[in-house]
């Protein structure tokens, strides 16, 4: 019997490919956002709103991840922007290799900002770097104010939190300040936006911030 000291990261290969993605996209001057949330929090709806506002101002590309169906890609396709659907066939998150393959299908010379819509899940995707510049976690007012405390890895690893569905607040017992406090306990550096994708509330502020990020 022999012991081999390894000290090898389990996700080493994923991290390496993510770094390759990051370099390749940076070289083309493309800024990348990874959108994460539980299923139904409003990732696609927010993305549609962003596209409506930013189309014509900046060239957008979208990679959409889902366990099954290309319904989300169809929703994005309406806007005539480059969209690639990844169907994971059961896997609950995107990994960097899936994104690497998806990137090959995009004409990178005609994209300045790339949105990757991850599979709806607040646990698994947090471990998997895809090569993004910014990680945005979306939670909605219907999910429970303590979501950040229940899923700390996701909120710890995110740069931005969007609280969506604020138009529903009059009908809910949700306390937005409580959500913010809980999220900031885990990650004091989180930048926070409040939106309603349905009504369009807060989307302008979010888009201004996205444009600032791209320009930098």
Binding site for another protein (CB under 8 A): 1-14, 91-93, 95, 123-124, 126-128, 149, 151-153, 156, 182, 184-186, 188
Return the number of the residue (98 or 197) whose C-beta is nearest another protein.
Answer: 98
Q: Provide φ and ψ at 62, rounded to 5°.
A: -135, 135
C-beta of residue 65 within 8 angstroms of C-beta of residue 95: no
> How many Å is the Cα radius of gyration of the chain?
17
Return the number of the residue (48 or 95) whose C-beta is nearest another protein.
Answer: 95
Instruction: Provide the minimum distance between the beta carbon of 190 and another protein in the complex, in angstroms, as a whole number.
Output: 11
Instruction: Provide the minimum distance between the beta carbon of 8 and another protein in the complex, in angstroms, as a whole number.
Output: 5
Q: Rounded to an integer, what distance in angstroms lies between the CA atom of residue 87 and that of residue 199?
A: 29
Instruction: Provide the minimum distance between the beta carbon of 96 and another protein in the complex, in angstroms, as a whole number.
Output: 11
Report the alpha-carbon angle 37-74-131, nearest 5: 45
Neighbour-count burial for 155-190, b at 16+ CB within 10 Å, e otherwise: bebbbbbbbbbbbeeeeeebeeeebbebbeebbeeb
Return the number of the residue (57 or 185) whose C-beta is nearest another protein.
Answer: 185
Give the CA count within 13 Å in the CB-facing half-sphere of 119.
Answer: 23
Q: Rounded to an integer, what distance in angstroms lies between the CA atom of residue 1 and that of residue 23?
A: 42
Return the number of the residue (9 or 191) whose C-beta is nearest another protein.
Answer: 9
Instruction: Provide the minimum distance between the beta carbon of 151 and another protein in the complex, in angstroms, as a whole number.
Output: 7
What are the helix (H) ranges across 29-121? Answer: 43-54, 71-77, 96-103
Instruction: Provide the minimum distance between the beta carbon of 75 and another protein in the complex, in angstroms, as a whole number.
Output: 26
Return the number of the residue (13 or 199) whose C-beta is nearest another protein.
Answer: 13
Return the number of the residue (44 or 182) whose C-beta is nearest another protein.
Answer: 182
Q: Rounded to an integer, what distance in angstroms lies between the CA atom of residue 89 and that of residue 107?
A: 25
Instruction: Provide the minimum distance between the beta carbon of 55 and another protein in the complex, in angstroms, as a whole number.
Output: 34
């Amino acid at each position: 019997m022999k012991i081999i000291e390894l000290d090898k990261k389990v996700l080493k290969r994923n991290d390496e490919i993510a770094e390759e993605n990051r370099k390749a996209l940076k070289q083309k001057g493309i800024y990348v956002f990874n959108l994460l949330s539980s299923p139904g929090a409003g990732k696609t709806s927010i993305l549609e709103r962003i596209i409506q506002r930013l189309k014509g101002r900046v060239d957008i590309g979208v990679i959409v991840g889902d366990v099954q169906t290309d319904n989300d890609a169809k929703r994005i396709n309406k806007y005539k922007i480059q969209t690639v659907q990844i169907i994971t066939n059961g896997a609950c998150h995107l990994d960097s290799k899936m994104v690497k393959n998806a990137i090959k299908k995009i004409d990178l010379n005609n994209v300045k900002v790339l949105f990757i819509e991850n599979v709806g899940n607040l646990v698994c995707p947090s471990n998997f770097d895809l090569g993004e510049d910014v990680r945005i976690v979306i939670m909605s007012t219907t999910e429970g104010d303590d979501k950040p405390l229940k899923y700390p890895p996701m909120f710890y690893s995110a740069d931005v939190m969007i609280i969506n569905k604020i138009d529903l607040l009059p009908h809910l017992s949700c306390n937005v300040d409580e959500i913010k406090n809980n999220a900031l306990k885990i990650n004091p550096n989180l930048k926070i936006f409040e939106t309603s994708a349905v009504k369009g509330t807060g989307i302008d502020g979010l888009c201004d911030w996205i444009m600032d990020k791209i320009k930098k």
